[in-house]
Amino acid sequence: MAYPNIKFQISAKKDLETLRIFIREADERNLYWLIFNTYPRLIKYFDKKNDWKVLDDKALRDFVIKNYKTRKGTMSRAMRGHKMRWLKVAPRYFELVDALFAGRKWPRGKHIAFGTIWGMYPRFLEDKTFQIPFSHRTAGFVSVVIAHEMLHFMFYDYFYEHYPKYKRDEDNFFVWHISEIFNTLVQNSPEWLRCFKVKSLGYPEHKAIVSRLSRTWYRRTDWDLRALIDEIVAEASTLNTSL
């Protein structure tokens, strides 16, 4: 089995693109998670009374560029550390994914982990790239993020093959719910925690569903993937999944 070789890169341009994507698409909660909780001084560049429209795009761009210039050495050291920690858990991680997806071939893509100064770590299904924090108070957490985003790539590839009716654009948010519930349930299972030692955080709106499903699925040694996803689809249908 050929496994993806994850590349670790630093790019201010990528972080600017991420910022602009979230500004266009994110709601207030995500903007606080992405930007304001870490950099509250940046709130002044947004009009919160007018759908959080940007008041000074140049100031935001200058902030990102300056951040990358002044922290260049620290960022490089951080990414080297993340790579070393990932390589230690990667063999077991790929074994776990193989067992879950019955040896399914990994989808092709760039498989690049970009560092980010922001507080959220998006993944991009089109080219199989994603972002990880440069720093976190729990060192092992970054490997959990890497595992999380890579698991998304495998899950979406599998899901759209076996559940093609959800390929419609109007179902994107519904599938996002399904994928996040799936990842949290899998990553916080006993077998996965023995490898990573650190839990995947998950989203507050999925907590009750994950808790219900874990009571039965965590007692099983072999997981029927289709049966699990069917249950998650049924549970996710109870959420508000409209954009």
| Same domain (yes/no): 17, 133 | yes
44 domain-assigned: yes
pLDDT given at position 14: 96
174 domain-assigned: yes
| Same domain (yes/no): 69, 120 | yes
146 domain-assigned: no
Percentage of the chain with pLDDT > 90?
88
C-alpha span between 209 and 181 (Å, rounded):
8
pLDDT band at 25 (very low <50, low <70, confident <90, very high): confident
Mean pLDDT of 187-199: 96
Task: Give yes or no for residue 117 having a pLDDT over 80.
Answer: yes
148 domain-assigned: no
pLDDT given at position 242: 53
Mean pLDDT of 31-52: 93
pLDDT given at position 243: 44
Domains in the chain, number? 2
101 domain-assigned: yes
C-alpha span between 171 and 129 (Å, rounded):
22
DSSP assignments along 85-144, one per residue: HHHHHHHHHHHHHHHHTTTPPPPPS--EEEEESSS---EETTTTEEEEES--SSTTHHHH
Q: At what angle do helices 225-236 and 141-162 cross, to 10 degrees?
A: 90
| Same domain (yes/no): 179, 127 | no
